[in-house]
């Protein structure tokens, strides 16, 4: 079976690394997505264990299409009866980039019609009530190459289940996990987040260190897909539970906002990692540590609104004065403010472009 994992731009290599670690070798990286192949259990394993992927899609087929007739015939020729029961709900959504077929709404309608025509022939019925389980059809058209897929995740993989509430500008769980990986942090050293918000970075770090699979506490659309064996989902969850480690470490999470401190407390408890996170109310510009060799990861305010920009820039100055005094620490700051280095007071040792959702950001990395 072939699968497609959409990612936030900048995280593709991390997702590919995760999949290879799971044992999948036929892994291909493209812009914004990673392709791999595996047996049916891969559908469950990837959904349950992936930290940086946005969702897992099963590839039904692909073909070249420059006209709507090409799109219709190519879709109709795919073996839909192998995957869709006659009572399936199968809405269609997707996108088109640099292709002759650029109208997404027209493509949706044609793909839907083609699937219906294929199923009419196979099931010998003219009307599909769509009262059964959901089989979300996804399509991607890139340079006239069409890929048709079924969504196995349902709700996006960033929804781990531990964050029912968040602050006003939450960081996606998938990118928080990516920041932890990119930082090079290991549980044998100090980790701190002085802008903890709703606790996403500390929680993702703690889950990663303890090998707690991010999808253990949620369900997936693929659990109800008839072409996948039911038992694979429980089997993979049991394997993931067996991998959880009891590791002794402490992550320092702090924020000036008492509501954020409370959110981090609640969310880390839901995630099952509260014992590993020390939470305090503190101004980030007053952060200090005498312990050498630590790692700091944070997502400070970006100052996107005009009235907030100068406040953010003043904050960055204060951060620079505090963080650059830390003894032999690695500093990792993600922000959408492109003038960050100037206000922080030092050019970064490494700078990576990442996307927090649709917002272009940069990860600035320093060694003190």
Q: How far is CA 35 from CA 3, 13, 32, 233, 326, in A?
A: 6, 11, 10, 21, 41
Find out if CATH 3.40.50.1820 is the number for domain 173-211+220-367: no
Q: How far is CA 196 from the centre of its chain?
A: 19
Q: How far is CA 362 from CA 56, 99, 341, in A?
A: 26, 30, 11
How much is the pLDDT for 167?
Answer: 63
% of the chain exceeding 90 in pLDDT: 92
Half-sphere exposure of 162 (CA within 13 A, CB side): 31
Helix (H, G, I), strand (E, B) or coil at 277: strand
How much is the pLDDT for 25?
Answer: 84
pLDDT reading at 337 higher than 80: yes
CATH domain 2-151 topology: VC0802-like (3.30.2130)
Instruction: Please check whether residue 302 is in contact with residue 312, taking contact to mean a CB–CB distance below 8 angstroms.
Output: yes
- What does the mean pLDDT of the chain come to? 95
pLDDT in tens, 18-65: 999 999 989 999 989 999 999 999 999 999 999 999 999 999 999 999
* Rounded Cα–Cα distance for residues 102 and 113 (Å): 18
How much is the pLDDT for 305?
Answer: 59
How much is the pLDDT for 368?
Answer: 94
pTM for the model: 0.94
Domain ranges of the chain: 2-151, 173-211+220-367
pLDDT in tens, 231-248: 999 999 999 999 999 999
Q: Which one, of 153, 40, 151, 133, lies nearest residue 86 by Cα?
A: 133
Instruction: Please check whether residue 155 is in contact with residue 214, taking contact to mean a CB–CB distance below 8 angstroms.
Output: no
């Amino acid at each position: 079976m072939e699968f497609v994992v959409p990612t936030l731009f900048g995280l593709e290599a991390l997702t590919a690394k995760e999949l290879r670690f799971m044992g999948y070798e036929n892994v291909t990286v493209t812009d914004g997505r990673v392709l791999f192949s595996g047996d049916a259990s891969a559908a469950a394993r990837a959904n349950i264990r992936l930290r940086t992927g946005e969702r897992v899609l099963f590839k039904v087929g692909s073909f070249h299409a420059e006209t709507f007739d090409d799109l219709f015939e190519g879709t109709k020729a795919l073996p839909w009866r192998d995957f869709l029961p006659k009572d399936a709900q199968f809405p269609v959504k997707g996108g088109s980039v640099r292709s002759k077929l650029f109208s997404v709404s027209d493509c949706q309608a044609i793909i839907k019609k083609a699937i219906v025509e294929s199923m009419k022939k196979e099931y010998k019925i003219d009307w599909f009530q769509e009262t059964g389980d959901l089989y979300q059809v996804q399509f991607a058209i890139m340079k006239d190459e069409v890929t048709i897929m079924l969504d196995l995740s349902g709700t996006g993989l960033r929804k781990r289940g531990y964050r029912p509430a968040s602050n006003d500008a939450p960081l996606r769980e998938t990118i928080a996990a990516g920041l932890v990986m990119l930082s090079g942090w290991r549980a044998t050293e100090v980790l701190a987040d002085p802008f903890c918000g709703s606790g996403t970075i500390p929680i993702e770090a703690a889950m990663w260190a303890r090998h707690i699979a991010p999808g253990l506490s949620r369900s997936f659309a693929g659990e109800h897909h008839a072409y996948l064996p039911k038992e694979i989902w429980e089997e993979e969850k049991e394997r993931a539970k067996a991998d959880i480690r009891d590791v002794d470490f402490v992550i320092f999470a702090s924020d000036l906002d008492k509501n954020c401190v409370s959110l981090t407390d609640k969310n880390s408890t839901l995630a099952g990692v509260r014992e590993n996170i020390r939470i305090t109310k503190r101004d980030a510009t007053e952060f200090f540590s005498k312990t050498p060799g630590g790692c700091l990861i944070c997502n400070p305010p970006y100052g996107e609104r005009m009235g907030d920009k100068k406040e953010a820039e003043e904050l960055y100055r204060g951060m620079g004065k505090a963080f650059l005094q830390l003894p032999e620490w690695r500093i990792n700051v993600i922000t959408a403010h492109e003038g960050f280095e100037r206000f922080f007071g030092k050019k970064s040792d490494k700078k990576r472009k990442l996307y927090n959702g649709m917002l272009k950001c940069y990860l600035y990395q320093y060694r003190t």
